[in-house]
Amino acid sequence: MKKIVFTKKNTAELVEVEDRAPKMGEVRVKLRFSTVSAGTERALLTGNEEGGEGFRFGFPSSSGYSGSGIITDVGEGVSEYKVGDRVMVHGGGHQQFCTVPTKEIVPIPENVSLEEAALVVIAGFSLAAIRKAKICLGDSTLVTGLGILGLFAVEFARLSGAYPVIGADFSNERRELAKSLGADLVLDPLDPEYTEKCKAAGGGVNSAIEVTGNPKALKQVLSVTAKFGKVILLGCTRTMTEVDFYNDVHRPGIELIGAHSGARPTEESHSGFFTEMDDCRVILSYLSAGKLDFKSIISETHSPEEAPEVYGRLAEGNFPIGVQFDWSKLD
């Protein structure tokens, strides 16, 4: 079968790898769509050399953790799934087939497309950040960086009762898309009145979701967060950075909260806690109910054979919002 592999710095290739049958408790899925997670995959593709010691990645490597497809085989002991079931896949990679434990898949409702379902794992990262913000009805919420994670965060903030939801990005196209997805106000961080416009919501925003991972953006976010507010690091720089913790965090009583996708419980959920797969089920149910718009976030769909060109653009930093590979193109 075919798989996308980062063979060396800034180079992606479609290579032949071995497939395997499912073992006990596993299923084999023929992937239909897999979605590029630009931040993580750019770090892997480039080796993240600017990150310094402890932040670099080697080669060869591969990625792809948000996909969807159809079950083609089930292992021993699997009774809740059958061949032909449509499922969302966590950690399936960018490849034609994947064999995973049943705990890594979720059934897709009939009225949710495979394209939408292939975005769900990535969207779950944004939902985890919104959960950590513990938004109350009427909390002003800023989302900085309106790429794929930021746009999902705008939608989830709106559903959580945030008002106003403010989206910030340098790109006018992304700002307009955020507005169509529920942002009440969109701003350019370079606007001379940016700080004043953010602080117009009660002296600063109650919650800020920082998605860019840019150290300068973090300092700007801290400057517009209200006293006793929360800053959620959905994106995070992979380099060392300087923050004036005393003046920007400690004195105003701001909570600085990490929201890495892995910073969630992995076992069965209980009151007040949602696992990563719990969040995937929630997102699929909201898609089924028509309360989320994922189709507007899909910018491009490519054949896996176009991977070298797609990742060449990612290495250069010029990348669309939602990019998917359609594995049926190899049939």
Pairing of strands 300-302, 323-326: parallel
Which two tokens mark 315?
A: 């290495």
**Containing structural domain, residue 245:** 125-258
269 occurs within a structural domain: no
307 occurs within a structural domain: yes
**Are 196 and 100 members of one domain?**
no
**Are 313 and 253 members of one domain?**
no
280 occurs within a structural domain: no
**Are 114 and 12 members of one domain?**
yes
**Are 105 and 131 members of one domain?**
no
Alpha carbon 242 to chain centroid, angstroms: 25
Beta bridge partners of 4: 14
**Are 223 and 164 members of one domain?**
yes
Q: Give the residue-averaged pLDDT of 133-151.
A: 96
Predicted local distance difference test score (pLDDT) of residue 63:
93
Predicted local distance difference test score (pLDDT) of residue 55:
60
Read off the pLDDT of residues 240-255 as tens digits, 9 standing for 90 and up: 677 888 898 999 999 9
Count of domains in the chain? 2
Q: What is the pTM of this model?
A: 0.93
Measured CA to CA, the distance from residue 259 to residue 250 in angstroms comes to 20
Predicted local distance difference test score (pLDDT) of residue 214:
87
**62 pLDDT exceeds 80?**
yes
Task: Give the chain's mean pLDDT.
Answer: 93
Angle at 233 between CA 230 and CA 237, to 5 degrees: 140
**Are 112 and 172 members of one domain?**
no
204 occurs within a structural domain: yes
**Are 132 and 245 members of one domain?**
yes
Q: State which of 234, 258, 282 marks the end of a domain.
A: 258
